[in-house]
């Protein structure tokens, strides 16, 4: 019997009964849902295909007292080797990916990949998303972290965000009230689920937009280890420094613990060379932090989010 089977029906059956068509799976290895390809099984993975199903899923999970976490494409997440004792609500995959246009704004559901949004905007002659074309995550995860690259950030184009709060209420929050900062937003301190956002773009020639996207894509390909599993930049940029440069100057480029390695292409990335465990990555992160602190007096703060068996935790 599962830890959460506290009634005659298990949570999976309750979710099915409450929602009907919702996609619910049990004991899903998170290594298959994260770009790091690391992580043990989550008790449940719930994939709502509409905002209505998000609300219903939250109702059942709260009623049953089941802890949950929300993920998108899992591109910035390190999951424990023991997995997660609760439910993972996955906003992405093939669901919540509708888009519509109103003038120079795009209203996008949160499961859409950032690359898909950038390409769609380009085809409609709308500029402003070019910087995000190389970011592998979803819109929801990108807004949560205020993702950015090459001088652009989502905070620059987010007009408003629609969320489902912990009580299942749908709310729309102006972008100006989301407290965006460097890789941060107030969403990180809220138990809200991002379901859509309105992006304010501007008209431009599609060919000019495409050229900028191709230029940035080539720069990313030249500089980043895209051929190996990773969770993107491992550390936030410390004030007055670049994390990758400090790590390289500390002599750690190529340093490896188990299957986890400081990328030989870009020292700001930790890559999975094959068979890396969460333990390997955590030990490598801590070793990097200690070495850089000892040599330069700079504390590196992880950009990667760590999911322990009982919830998000600090590294």
Rounded CA gap, 296 and 283, in Å?
Answer: 20
Q: Which of 160, 142, 166 is nearest to 152 (CA)?
A: 142
Give Cβ neighbours of residue 167 (< 8 Å, ≥ 6 apart): none
DSSP 177: G
Look up 203 and say whether it is catalytic.
no
Rounded CA gap, 175 and 185, in Å?
Answer: 10
Please give the chain's pLDDT, 315 residues, in tens: 344 443 456 666 766 666 555 678 899 999 999 999 999 999 999 999 899 999 988 988 888 888 999 999 999 999 999 999 999 999 977 789 999 999 999 999 999 999 999 999 999 999 999 999 889 999 999 999 999 988 899 999 999 999 999 999 999 999 999 999 999 999 999 989 999 999 999 999 999 999 999 999 899 999 999 999 999 999 999 999 999 999 999 999 999 999 999 999 999 999 999 999 999 999 999 999 999 999 999 999 999 999 999 999 988
Cβ atoms of 98 and 198 within 8 Å: the answer is no
pTM recorded for the entire structure: 0.90
Rounded CA gap, 157 and 108, in Å?
Answer: 12
CATH topology of domain 99-210: 3.30.465
Q: Which of 73, 90, 183, 305 is catalytic?
A: 183
Cβ atoms of 126 and 114 within 8 Å: the answer is no
Look up 109 and say whether it is catalytic.
no
Q: Which CATH architecture has domain 225-313?
A: Alpha-Beta Complex (3.90)
CATH topology of domain 11-90: 3.30.43
Question: Which pLDDT score, from 0 to 100, does residue 3 have?
Answer: 40
Which two three-digit tokens encode residue 191? 């138990």
Question: Which pLDDT score, from 0 to 100, does residue 94 have?
Answer: 77
Question: Which pLDDT score, from 0 to 100, does residue 63 have?
Answer: 87
DSSP 108: E
* Extended beta strands in 3-153, E state: 23-29, 41-47, 68-71, 77-79, 84-90, 99-102, 105-109, 126-127, 148-149, 152-153
DSSP 209: H
Q: List 102's β-bridge partners, or say none.
A: 105
Look up 233 and say whether it is catalytic.
yes
To which residue do tokens 């290594």 refer?
A: 31
What residue spans define the domains of the chain? 11-90, 99-210, 225-313
Q: First-to-last CA distance in the chain?
A: 32
CB atoms within 10 A of CB 81: 16
Domains 99-210 and 225-313 share a fold: no
Q: Which of 31, 185, 230, 233 is catalytic?
A: 233
């Amino acid at each position: 019997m599962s830890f959460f089977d506290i009634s005659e029906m298990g949570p999976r059956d309750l979710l099915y009964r409450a929602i009907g068509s919702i996609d619910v799976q049990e004991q899903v290895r998170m290594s298959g849902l994260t770009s790091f390809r690391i992580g043990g099984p989550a008790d449940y993975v719930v994939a709502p295909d509409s905002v209505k199903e998000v609300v219903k899923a939250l109702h059942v999970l709260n009623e049953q007292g089941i802890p949950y976490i929300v993920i998108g494409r899992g591109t910035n997440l390190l999951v424990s080797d023991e997995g997660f004792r609760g439910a993972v609500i996955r906003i992405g995959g093939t669901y919540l990916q509708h888009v519509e246009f109103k003038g120079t704004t795009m209203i996008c559901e949160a499961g859409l990949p950032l690359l898909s949004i950038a390409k769609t905007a380009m085809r409609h002659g709308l500029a402003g998303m070019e910087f995000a074309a190389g970011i592998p995550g979803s819109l929801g995860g990108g807004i949560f972290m205020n993702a950015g690259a090459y001088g652009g950030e989502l905070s620059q184009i987010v007009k408003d965000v629609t969320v489902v709060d912990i009580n299942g209420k749908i709310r729309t929050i102006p972008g100006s009230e989301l407290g965006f900062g460097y890789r941060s937003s107030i969403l990180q301190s809220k138990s809200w689920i991002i379901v859509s956002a309105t992006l304010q773009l501007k008209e431009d020639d599609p060919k000019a937009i495409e050229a900028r996207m191709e230029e940035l894509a080539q720069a990313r390909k030249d500089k980043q280890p895209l051929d190996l599993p990773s969770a993107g930049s491992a550390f936030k940029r410390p004030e007055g420094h670049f994390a990758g440069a400090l790590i390289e100057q500390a002599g750690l480029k190529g340093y490896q613990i188990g299957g986890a390695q400081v990328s030989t292409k870009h020292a700001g990335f930790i890559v999975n060379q094959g068979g890396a465990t969460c333990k390997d990555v955590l030990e490598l992160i801590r070793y990097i932090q200690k070495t850089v602190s000892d040599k330069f007096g700079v504390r590196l703060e992880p950009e990667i989010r760590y999911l322990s068996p009982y919830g998000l935790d600090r590294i």
